[in-house]
Amino acid sequence: MGNEFRDLADDLENWMSRLPQNVRQIPITNISIPGSHDSFTANITKDSDISPDAEDIVKELSILGPLFKEVIARWSRTQSFLANDQLIRGIRYFDIRTSTKEGTDEFYIVHSLYSVPLQGCLNEINAFLSTHPQEVVILDFQHFFGFDDSIHKRLTQDIINTFGGKLIPYTNEINTITLKSMASNKYQIFVIYRVKGTTFWPAETFPNPWPNVDSKEALINSLDNNLAKRNPNIPFISQCVLTPDAGFIIANFLSSLEEKCAKELELDRLKWIEAQKAGRGGLNIIIADFIELSDCKYVKDVINANQSLLNTN
């Protein structure tokens, strides 16, 4: 009976809340958590403006107009859904690239092109957490464009104003934090801020190595090698994504990142995840493109990697 399969992903919207109590008392560093890569790019289209993070060649060729931007949009869009629709599909880690934009004080999500204002995404996450008090989200502010110290201060204040008491304060003992301890303190959100000088979680507390490869074999090797070397006392992020270079995009310019990277990788990423287990030194946070493929099987398999925790005390 001890090895009987129990589907931990039968309610994606509430999967953390529904974990058995013994799992909710295990350090967050040992739990398998599904995330999305370049999380809020769903609204990128051929009509989107070129953003500051774009490669120089993209900026130069943008004069070719909407046809060129349609190609860039297809290769910049990594998700089909924004925050709330990912949350109800079980995603609990979000990867954020944000930028200023000329003519507005708002911060924007970017990935070669401008997507949506950041604040709307933060508001969706906060609203979800308010109605799901035992769910926890990890927000990773990885890249900033057009920022100086004063702009960083403004963004950090916006984050604090949005989430308030839900923010999990930084501690150097993250391996003692559990879902149960967070719920008892009404904490629900980790904010990682990969620029020094804030009170949020610093970059070194959530290592996030980028494979930067466009072949499936090289990616799987990188995932295996990096996971084997992880520090079991802190969280660890596995980037299960292919990264096309300019040559790859030119060779496949009529296609898209979804078709040539996400769908091509789907069977391999599922096979790799199915071979992983949660637990000390095991699979922790993993990110992927187009999280809804195969009826969200990626999300379900990551959550069910926590099967290995069911019989722990």
Q: Are 93 and 34 in contact (CB under 8 A)?
A: yes
Contact by Cβ (8 Å): 182, 168: yes
Per domain, the residue ranges of the chain are 12-309
The C-alpha R_g of the chain, in whole angstroms, comes to: 19
In contact, 12 and 295? CB cutoff 8 Å: no
Residues of the chain with pLDDT > 90: what percent?
Answer: 90
Q: What is the mean pLDDT of residues 174-190?
A: 98
**Structure confidence at residue 217 (pLDDT):** 98
**What residues contact residue 88 under an 8 Å CB cut-off, 6+ apart?**
12, 13, 128
Identify the pLDDT of residue 230.
98
Question: From its phi and psi, is residue 37 left (phi > 0), alpha (psi between -120 and 50) or beta?
Answer: beta
Q: Residue 122: what pLDDT? A: 99
Cα(225)–Cα(290) distance, rounded to whole angstroms? Answer: 24
For residue 1, pLDDT over 50 is answered with no
Active site residue 132: no
Q: How confident is the model at residue 5 (pLDDT cuts 50, 70, 90)?
A: confident
Provide mean pLDDT across the span 13-20.
Answer: 98
Residue 2 has pLDDT above 60, yes or no: no
Rounded Cα distance between 236 and 204, Å, is 10
Q: How confident is the model at residue 3 (pLDDT cuts 50, 70, 90)?
A: low
The residues with which 109 forms a beta bridge, in sequence order, are 98
- Name which of 118, 136, 231 is nearest 179 in CA terms: 136
Q: Residue 222 pLDDT > 90, yes or no? A: yes
Q: Which residues pair with residue 95 across a beta bridge?
A: 140
Residue 37 known to be catalytic: yes
Crossing angle of the two packed helices 263-274 and 216-228, in degrees rounded to 10: 30
Q: Which residue do the tokens 């019989």 mark?
A: 311
pLDDT in tens, 105-136: 999 999 999 999 999 999 999 999 999 999 99
Output the 3-class SS for the chain: CCCCCCCCCCCHHHCCCCCCHHHHCCEHHHCCEEEECCCCCCCCCCCCCECCCCCHHHHHHHHHCHHHHHHHHHHHCCCCCCHHHHHCCCCCEEEEEEEEECCEEEEEEEECEEEEEHHHHHHHHHHHHHHCCCCCEEEEEEEEECCCHHHHHHHHHHHHHHHHHHECCCCCCHHHCEHHHHHHCCCCEEEEECCCCCCCECHHHCCCCCCCCCCHHHHHHHHHHHHHCCCCCCCCEEECCCCCCHHHHHHCCCCCHHHHHHHHHHHHHHHHHHCCCCCCCCCCEEEECCCCHHHHHHHHHHHHHHHHHCCCC
- pLDDT tens track for 44-97: 999 999 999 998 877 777 766 778 889 999 999 999 999 999 999 999 999 999
Please identify which of the residues 111, 132, 143, 152 carries the catalytic annotation.
111
**Fold entry, domain 12-309:** TIM Barrel (3.20.20)
pLDDT at residue 233 tops 90: yes
pLDDT of residue 313: 56
Give the predicted TM-score (pTM) of the model. Answer: 0.96
Task: Using pLDDT thresholds of 50, 70 and 90, give the confidence band for residue 224.
Answer: very high
Q: Report the b/e string of 190-200 with b at 16+ CB within 10 A.
A: bbbbbbeebeb
What are 275-305's pLDDT values in tens digits? 999 999 999 999 999 999 999 999 999 999 9
Residue 143: is its pLDDT beyond 80?
Answer: yes
What is the C-alpha separation between 110 and 12, in angstroms, rounded?
27
- Averaged pLDDT of the chain: 96
Condensed to tens digits (0 to 9), the pLDDT of residues 258-273 reads: 999 999 999 999 999 9
Q: What's the token pair of residue 201? A: 């979680």
**Cα–Cα distance between 24 and 47 in angstroms, integer?**
45
